[in-house]
Amino acid sequence: MRKLAVPLVLIFLGLVSLLVLGILDGGIPEIQAAEMKDQKYHSGTVKVHGVLGKIESAERPLRFWVKDKIHPEIQFAVIADKTRPDTFQETYDVAVEGHWDSANNRFEADRILTKCPSKYEAESKDGIGSKAEYEKRKGPVKDTPVKDAVPTEQMK
């Protein structure tokens, strides 16, 4: 038993050290759009979170602006030789992964991740699928009390 304990401990310590070194060296920095002002993010790959601003071209190559969520006056241009994602709409959350092109003063995205407003956040958003958009089309939403709900036996 003692003969196995030492090699197992050494293997375990080796795996832990590889994991720690991989996390310290290999992670792509994730920042908010306002942090792109910092020159340290202008070299190497970075993932930037923000809000999709003005779309200049929805065809390949995509050209658009990413704004900061808290400070929308802070924005930067993005170009991506990608097809347009389904949820590629202004004011939707977006994350772009790529690098800063200093020569053209823009961000070159290798990946674009978009997120439409969740139906659970509908009260705070006015986009497609929101409570506000639904009420414009169908009228006010009425909550049905549980006592007025149809019993499951009657539904069959």
Q: Which domain holds residue 90?
A: 30-116
Contact in structure between 54 and 89 (CB atoms under 8 Å) = no
Domains held by the chain: number: 1
Residues forming a β-bridge with 80:
62
What CATH number is given to the structural domain containing 88?
2.40.50.140
In a domain, 62, yes or no: yes
pLDDT string in tens for the chain (156-residue length): 667 777 777 788 877 776 666 665 567 888 899 998 888 888 889 999 999 999 999 888 999 999 998 888 999 999 999 988 888 888 899 999 999 998 999 999 999 998 866 644 544 445 544 556 556 655 665 544 444 444 444 444
In a domain, 146, yes or no: no
The pairing of strands 30-32 and 93-101 is unpaired
Distance CA 84, CA 59 (A): 7
- Give the single-character DSSP code of 75: E
Cα torsion 88, 119, 50, 73: sign: positive
All residues at 6 or more sequence positions from 128 whose CB lies less than 8 Å from its CB, including other chains: 89, 116
In a domain, 89, yes or no: yes
pTM greater than the 0.75 cutoff: no
